[in-house]
Amino acid sequence: MNNIEKGKLGEEIALKYIISKGGRIIEQNYRTKMGEIDLIAKMNGELVFVEVKSRSNINYGYPCEAVNYKKKRKIINAAKYYILDNCLENISVRFDVIEIYLSNKKINHIINAF
């Protein structure tokens, strides 16, 4: 399985996980010239921008460690664009990271990751 396939599998697992927790998926792979957001969901009255990171093992670090300052800035800028483009006002937003460990099928949901 190559990295693109691992990423798609991880996003599908995360999508099902969010739905199982009562969330509603609004967008998947939302792209702008500023960056991409893997999942945008509505959970408990909040608009949640989710970055999904999948790994087969932790030989090269934990998945969340790949969400560095530069990646965070891109996600935040894409989220601002989404909010403006959809004329959303007075909403509560948060940024989550969902780590998917493919080898043992573990999910770690980091709420308010940044």
In this predicted model, what pLDDT tens digit does every residue of 16-75 receive, in sequence order? 999 999 999 999 999 999 999 999 999 999 999 999 999 998 888 999 999 999 999 999
Q: What is the pLDDT of residues 29-41, one digit of tens each?
A: 999 999 999 999 9
Q: Which residue has the tokens 């957001």?
A: 37
Q: pTM for the whole thing?
A: 0.93
Question: How do the domains of the chain map onto residue ranges?
Answer: 3-110
For residue 55, give the 3-state DSSP assignment: strand
For residue 61, give the 3-state DSSP assignment: coil
CATH of domain 3-110: 3.40.1350.10
Q: Is the pLDDT of residue 1 over 80?
A: no
**Which of 78, 61, 62 has the alpha carbon at shortest distance from 70?**
78
Largest CA-CA distance found in the chain, in angstroms, rounded: 43
Among 19-23, 77-81, 103-107, the range scoring the smallest mean pLDDT is 103-107
CA 5 to chain centre: 16
